[in-house]
Structure 1
Amino acid sequence: MPGDFTATLAFAVGARDEDVDQLGITHLAARHLLLSLLAEPDETAGLLETSFTLTGDPAQVAEDLNDLAALIENPDLSGLALTAQQLDPADRASELDLDLDDAVRDPWASLLARRLGPTGPGLLRWPAVDPHRLTADEVRAHLARWFTAGNAVLTCTGPPPAQLRLPLPAGPRAAHATSPVRGSAGPAWYADEVVAPAIAVGATAGPEAFLLMRLLGTRVDAALQRAAVKAWSTEWSTPVGDERLELGLSLHLRGKARQRDSALAARILWQELRRLAVEEPSPAELDGIVTRFTRSPAEDPQLRGQLERLGVLDSAEQAHAQAPLVDAGHRELLDVSDEFGQAQVAAAARLGPADVRAAAVAWLPSALLVVPNGVDPSLDGMARTGCPTGSYTPQGELLRPSLARRLRGAKDGLVLGDDACHLVAADGTVHTFAMRDAMLIQRRGETLLGDVGHGCLVDVSGFTGVDKLVTRVPPRRHRIAHD
């Protein structure tokens, strides 16, 4: 390919392969390897893969890749504590495509946690473990399991240099756990501690998913603009195993908090998804989606202007030119990718409006929508769901809301029991958090309590003595979010 020689060594391991009590270990391991090299490759530890990219003289790139492989074969983890000290938590949020301003309240991460629980992509909601708590033995075992020759692929923009050897440890292609998806009897919505609404459906990977996702995004953006809702959308296609995807859209609302109409935005999400199951799209709409995917950024008038203003048009053009190479690497490395490749788009071009509507009809019953707490979107055809609650409060220490919390209208209480914490609402409803599943997140003066089993999160800031929770949850479940 034109341009400087570029090689990317990618491993099929990412955040989906971590344990809830080892979150961030892939990021720590990859960054430690990077800091041990004299070269400075671009390193990314995302949801599905971890990659190292080097550009320059082919012989030098080969030497640096050989050094990287040798480090993986015999890692020196004596400086792991220093690497942990230098980690930037925002890097992990960025690589996972989470909301950098409020990653723990990212709506797509909430949907995945609710649907998948503490497995696979369902882990994205939770901040990483304090890297100082991860031991050298854990990192060494993680490298040995996932960073092997059988679990890697190398893509190059030119012939592999003669000096390239890649002395990686032997090992098979690693198997990824399939996340059990929690379904419902029909479309449902719930409220959570999120910054904006989002919607997901359970889908089958393939060209229908590509068209439905892009069509939904295009229509929602247009409907938001017509309704004068200041927002933009992010399309998501997240593999959960067995050719299955969580497919959907999350929103980013702009403007001051009181000016953000989450209820209207949520209704638009549901309205446009349901309309896809009722009305066939026009052939022109489908052709436009395929055309926009295949043409280069410079050929897209709207996108070109945005990229030129950001000064990244050249890099976007290069990325577009290399997309077939990246797609080939994904097909070799991953069971199902979170990106749609040329083969799926070519297949999408052969589908008709009836195919897209049939997919929407099939997937609509699995629809799940999240809105911020306190928002009632009044969604026709969607039932409200939520975490299990009761009305019986066990004995324990009662933490009362502070004056500041009461001034915000709170009339609830927090009961600390021996093996659980209970949030008691003003109407007597009790939301119980078993300590074995509890996650305590402290950030920006806030204290948030999560349940990794249900995937939910509540704000418990402003209860007198809430810091006592720090001693109740397991040490690795106390997370400090720095986003």
Structure 2
Amino acid sequence: MSKVANGERIAGLIRQDGPAVGLDWWGCGEMAGELRVTEVDGVPVYWVPGEGRMRASLWFRGGFADDTLPTHGWRHLLEHLALHDRDTIRVPINGRVTMLHTTFDAEGEPEDIVTFLRDLCGWLNAPDFGELEHERRVLRAESARRGAGPVELHMLWRYGAQGPGLVAYSEYGLQTAEPDRLRALAAEVFARGNAVLALTGHPPAGLRLPLPDGSRSPARVAVPCDQRLPLGFGGPPGSVAVSGVLQRSTVGPALGRALRRGLEDGFRHGAGVGYSGWHSYELVDAENAMLTAGIDMLPEARPTVVAQTLDVLRDLRQRGPDPTELRDDVDQEIRRIKAEPAEHWMPYVAAREVLLGRPVLERDELIAEAEEITVGEVRRAADALWDSVLLSVDPDATTDPRLNWITRPPGSRSTPTGRRFRAAGWPVVKGELTVGRSGAHLETGSAEASASYDDLAALIAYPDGGRQLVRRDGYQLQIEPARWRNGQQAVAAVDDAVSPTLKVPMPARDPEDIPRSAVTRRHLATYLLKKPAFWVALICVAVVVIGLASGIPAQRIAQPGAVAVLLVGVIVAVYNLRRG
């Protein structure tokens, strides 16, 4: 069967990004079915006849996946600034930045929509940053409350600190945003060639979209991290989730629902150790989506959670879903497509797909695609999913040998060379930091990590000197100057070598939160007193000093000194062995 974008309508696209906006009332073209299309000021307008108040949604191609880690949050900031003080009881508004799109929504009478869109486009054409600091504070507060859920964590482990993986990160761009750079981004994104308007109801008279000239921004291909899949990793406690990437089609959401039912049958209805299952189908680029399914579970499920989850996927790969269940599932989705008013979803899906360069389908075409779903197609989709599977489980369940587990960063292709720095607590604490012209390398007694400067997603910088070198794969090397001898010199060397465009200056940390060496003079003294070499050196020095002070010739000092050194060394060694 054909794999077309709008096929995902049966997955519940009714929730996709809300209201829409219209176009000039004259010369409106019509498509053969419910969906109409015309153009206003060079912007395509998709609309359907609607009842009641008009809803409008102005879409632009560009979302989180188009950011970099240092600019992550700029689009969100622009969206907030563009809508600042526009919300009223008469005309409620909203804005969203999603993985691949940015939208501005409003609901009101036709004349209200005309005014809203005119004023909004005017701001987008000539942004005013008078409220920049206000909205920056608002979004910092919002970002501080936002946590990464299972879907975001799977994006992170799959894509790292770039592309779709950015949805798991704090909006570091709130620290780097400044008017000139925001203005340049606005001119690139909020252009008429990069926009589509969705509208419920006939485009009202007087509608204008005064956007600047510009071209469509194609969606970047989502590139996963270089790692051998399938893999597992420790996720949120008390949960399990499995994800994979599929080419977009109607079959993907059907597989997601089958996975959810399989997890519920095993953990909830069968063993009685799980709650309600869930599934998600998120676009990562124009052609692919990440399918995720999971369930919360009780602690007693941990010993078998990996085996049971893999068994659900194995059954779908080998036999596909139960034919009766699949038929009932598809019939339910078809009823939903038939019953859902077009104004609730059709123009918005059209806007999304047009901006991604995908075909726009009518209701009958979506139904026809759903009717073609077979057990064999779902089975083949499950088989394809396996090639890119990531499984997250409760951290206490990450020992099952049926799966390889992510336990440490992948090895570096080469170890950077350069100046070496000892741990501040040396020799009590073992460790060495190497900072060179091409990268940095940290080695402790139990682990090591490297970061090449040309493979960095960002350099997070704190005023106290703390640095986080975030690699594109999401792993990071942390340098805390207080933990290294001459640590500030190490930080200065890193700052000189890394491109300024990657640097994210952070607010000052609470002094209690700044990592420092925990080694005290008492720790050092205790450590040295247990070392025979220390006593040997101390006795040698003492014997020589006393002998010379007494006028004894050096050759007469050597023999008794050697005996004393040997005796003390043996005593200290035996003492240490007995203490373990």
> Partner of 2:100: helix, strand, or coil?
coil
Are the equivalent residues in 2 in contact too, given 1:187–1:368 (CA < 8 A)? yes
Superposed CA deviations along residues 364-420 of structure 1, whole A, max 9, x for unmatched, are 22222234555424152x33345224899984343779xxxxxxxxx9977544366
CA distance in 2, matches of 1:291, 1:478: 53
Q: 1:58 aligns to what?
A: 110
Q: 1:304 aligns to what?
A: none
Displacement of 1:248: 2.2
Q: 1:387 aligns to what?
A: 409
Q: 1:398 aligns to what?
A: 423
Q: 1:327 aligns to what?
A: 349
Counterpart of 1:276 (choices 297, 316, 327) is 316
Superposed CA deviations along residues 323-346 of structure 1, whole A, max 9, x for unmatched, are 233222222223479xxx985564
Superposed CA deviations along residues 227-284 of structure 1, whole A, max 9, x for unmatched, are 3334444423333336222222255x477xxx48556444443222222101222222
Counterpart of 1:162 (choices 195, 205, 230) is 205
CA distance in 1, matches of 2:94, 2:458: 32
Query: Structure 1 130/334 Cα, relative in aligned 2: closer, same or farther at 3 Å?
Result: closer
The count of aligned residue pairs is: 431
Query: Structure 1 120/477 Cα, relative in aligned 2: closer, same or farther at 3 Å?
Result: farther
Q: 2:504 aligns to what?
A: 476
CA distance in 1, matches of 2:307, 2:364: 33
Displacement of 1:186: 4.9
Q: 1:418 aligns to what?
A: 435
Are the equivalent residues in 2 in contact too, given 1:198–1:369 (CA < 8 A)? yes
CA distance in 2, matches of 1:342, 1:223: 36
CA distance in 2, matches of 1:239, 1:63: 33
CA distance in 2, matches of 1:412, 1:230: 44
Which deviates the most, 342-351 or 447-456?
A: 447-456
Counterpart of 1:248 (choices 292, 299, 303) is 292
The 5-angstrom pairing of residues 108-119 of structure 1 reads 108-119=151-162
Q: Does 1:293 align with 2:333?
A: yes
Amino acid paired to 2:386: L
Query: Structure 1 64/109 Cα, relative in aligned 2: closer, same or farther at 3 Å?
Result: same
The 5-angstrom pairing of residues 194-233 of structure 1 reads 196-225=239-268, 226-233=270-277
Displacement of 1:435: 6.5
Counterpart of 1:147 (choices 173, 190, 199) is 190
Amino acid paired to 1:171: G
Amino acid paired to 2:261: T
Counterpart of 1:102 (choices 147, 150, 173) is 147
Displacement of 1:165: 0.7
Are the equivalent residues in 1 in contact too, given 2:442–2:477 (CA < 8 A)? no
CA distance in 1, matches of 2:329, 2:431: 50
Query: Structure 1 141/413 Cα, relative in aligned 2: closer, same or farther at 3 Å?
Result: farther
Displacement of 1:188: 2.4
TM-score, length-normalised on structure 1? Answer: 0.74
TM-score, length-normalised on structure 2? Answer: 0.63
Amino acid paired to 2:206: Q
> Partner of 1:50: helix, strand, or coil?
strand
Are the equivalent residues in 2 in contact too, given 1:11–1:50 (CA < 8 A)? yes
> Partner of 1:44: helix, strand, or coil?
strand
CA distance in 1, matches of 2:65, 2:76: 12
Q: 1:18 aligns to what?
A: 67
Q: 1:404 aligns to what?
A: none
Amino acid paired to 2:392: V
Q: 2:76 aligns to what?
A: 27
CA distance in 2, matches of 1:127, 1:201: 24
> Partner of 2:378: helix, strand, or coil?
helix
Amino acid paired to 1:290: V
Which segments of 5 or more consecutive residues in structure 1 lack a partner in the other structure?
Answer: 94-99, 300-316, 402-410
CA distance in 2, matches of 1:480, 1:157: 48
CA distance in 1, matches of 2:424, 2:239: 29
Which segments of 5 or more consecutive residues in structure 2 lack a partner in the other structure?
Answer: 1-49, 496-501, 510-580
Are the equivalent residues in 2 in contact too, given 1:414–1:422 (CA < 8 A)? no
Superposed CA deviations along residues 50-77 of structure 1, whole A, max 9, x for unmatched, are 1111111111111111110111111112
Query: Structure 1 150/363 Cα, relative in aligned 2: closer, same or farther at 3 Å?
Result: same
CA distance in 2, matches of 1:393, 1:156: 56
Q: 1:432 aligns to what?
A: 450
Displacement of 1:177: 1.7
Amino acid paired to 2:116: D
Query: Structure 1 244/296 Cα, relative in aligned 2: closer, same or farther at 3 Å?
Result: closer
Amino acid paired to 2:56: A
Q: Does 1:174 align with 2:217?
A: yes
Are the equivalent residues in 1 in contact too, given 2:469–2:477 (CA < 8 A)? yes
CA distance in 2, matches of 1:107, 1:459: 25
Q: Does 1:455 align with 2:474?
A: yes
Which deviates the most, 70-79 or 415-424?
A: 415-424
Identity within the alignment, %: 23
Query: What do you get for the CA RMSD once the two structures are aligned?
Result: 4.2
Q: Does 1:239 align with 2:266?
A: no
Query: Structure 1 250/261 Cα, relative in aligned 2: closer, same or farther at 3 Å?
Result: same
> Partner of 1:384: helix, strand, or coil?
coil
Amino acid paired to 1:167: P
Are the equivalent residues in 1 in contact too, given 2:71–2:177 (CA < 8 A)? yes
Are the equivalent residues in 2 in contact too, given 1:239–1:336 (CA < 8 A)? no
Query: Structure 1 5/223 Cα, relative in aligned 2: closer, same or farther at 3 Å?
Result: same
Are the equivalent residues in 2 in contact too, given 1:387–1:454 (CA < 8 A)? no
Superposed CA deviations along residues 275-300 of structure 1, whole A, max 9, x for unmatched, are 21012222222123223434459x9x
Q: 2:138 aligns to what?
A: 86
